[in-house]
Amino acid sequence: MTEATTDLSQAVETANRMRDEIGKALIGQSQVIQEVLIAFLAAGHVLIEGVPGLGKTLLARAMAKTFDGQFARIQFTPDLMPNDITGHVIYDQTSQKFNIRRGPIFTNLLLADEINRAPAKTQSALLEVMQEQQVSIEGKAMHVPQPFMTLATQNPIEQEGTYPLPEAQLDRFLLMIKIDYPSAVEEKQLIKMVTGEQVGNVLDVSRVQTIIKPEQIMVLQKMTASVQVDEAVHAYAARIVRSTRDWQAIRMGAGPRGGIALIRAARAAAVLAGRDFVTPDDIKSVTLPVMRHRIILSPELELEGINADQILTTLLEHTEAPRN
């Protein structure tokens, strides 16, 4: 067994253990956990869409604990200012000096709760940090801790008083994940777990074990970025993206960043599957979360209740995939 094979097997084992540990706290959301791990291994950010109370905060806390990372949560509101996120300069009367007070953005795992409730200027401050991995306060550039990942959430039901993210900003998220209600069996298990000898409904991540350190996550991300991608698979990803621009039901298709995201996410999916190369099936498996927020449907389809996932599924069926 080569050193590279050994490293890959260790990476696969670590990623799967992280998935299992998160699953101890978050019941009945295996697909969501899988997709968040894909984004994490690919060093990307995710936008999670779902109604309140489905465990988004619990997911973030549990994930942070698996790699002993710092966790912070920001509740986005209409009066939230950019400095509330990034930090600001304050004057210390004792020392008679100006000191920089860092905002909650300086963490490993940031939960941006209901991001669409803050005005565009505040949204942009967060998205700039996501892209640049640094914050500028009074002309001084400061890097955020590594690894750094943003899990932003938005409620698809209550749209009154919200500021929807523009397409150019949505494009910054590697994946858009949809979280739904658990099944009847899973919901019973969830209720039993939360109410079992526990006071109140405090988020409990005590069952989750720390199995890796932040610096080791960086190694995993570098390994994921080196997973082999055949020319035919690159061409397949490009065909999918270009098809979104020509598809009659799609008013606006995905840009080149969509193809880049497909490859990045597919590499992470390959690692979770125990492979050091990407297959066409890896591309297919990540197409919906990668592409659903990068396309705009025609108004007629939206009126008929047809969503992006349905259109993308049909598009995949009509896009030729490599045979080998």
CATH class for the region spanning 227-317: mainly alpha
Cα(314)–Cα(244) distance, rounded to whole angstroms? 11
Cα(82)–Cα(60) distance, rounded to whole angstroms? 22
Q: Which helix (H) or strand (E) holds 295?
A: none
Q: Cβ neighbours of residue 40 under 8 Å, at least 6 residues apart?
A: 63, 147, 149, 217, 221, 268
Report the relative pairing of strands 250-252 and 296-297 from DSSP bridges. antiparallel
What confidence score (pLDDT) does residue 227 get? 93
**Are 46 and 174 spatial neighbours (Cβ–Cβ below 8 Å)?**
yes
CA diameter of the chain: 71
The alpha-carbon radius of gyration of the chain (Å, integer) is 21
Extract the runs of DSSP E, i.e. beta strands, from 8-81. Answer: 46-49, 71-75
What confidence score (pLDDT) does residue 3 get? 47
Which pair of structure tokens corresponds to residue 3? 């050193």
What confidence score (pLDDT) does residue 2 get? 45
Cα(229)–Cα(109) distance, rounded to whole angstroms? 29
What pairs with residue 150 in β-bridges? 110
Cα(147)–Cα(106) distance, rounded to whole angstroms? 11
**Are 214 and 146 spatial neighbours (Cβ–Cβ below 8 Å)?**
yes
Tokens 């973030």 -> residue: 60
Which pair of structure tokens corresponds to residue 150? 């943003």
Tokens 């209740």 -> residue: 305
**Could you tell me how many helices (H) and strands (E) the chain has, helices first?**
13, 11
What pairs with residue 102 in β-bridges? 87
Cα(185)–Cα(180) distance, rounded to whole angstroms? 14
Which pair of structure tokens corresponds to residue 258? 């969509």
What confidence score (pLDDT) does residue 88 get? 78
Query: What sign for the dihedral angle of Cα 228, 29, 126, 164?
Result: positive
Which pair of structure tokens corresponds to residue 120? 């565009």
What is the residue extent of each domain of the chain? 3-79+107-208, 227-317
Which pair of structure tokens corresponds to residue 101? 């007070």
Cα(236)–Cα(289) distance, rounded to whole angstroms? 17
Cα(136)–Cα(280) distance, rounded to whole angstroms? 41
Which pair of structure tokens corresponds to residue 315? 């598009």
**pTM for the full model?**
0.89
Q: What is the pLDDT along the chain (324 residues), one digit of tens a residue?
A: 344 555 788 888 998 999 999 988 888 888 999 999 999 999 999 999 987 777 888 899 999 999 999 999 999 999 999 889 988 777 677 776 777 788 899 999 999 999 988 888 888 888 888 888 888 877 778 899 999 999 999 887 766 667 778 777 788 899 999 998 878 888 888 777 777 656 555 567 888 999 999 999 999 999 999 999 999 999 999 999 999 999 888 899 999 999 999 999 999 999 999 999 999 999 999 999 999 999 998 888 777 878 899 999 999 999 999 976
What confidence score (pLDDT) does residue 324 get? 63
The superfamily CATH assigns to domain 3-79+107-208 is P-loop containing nucleotide triphosphate hydrolases (3.40.50.300)
Cα(217)–Cα(19) distance, rounded to whole angstroms? 14
DSSP 117: G
Cα(236)–Cα(316) distance, rounded to whole angstroms? 10
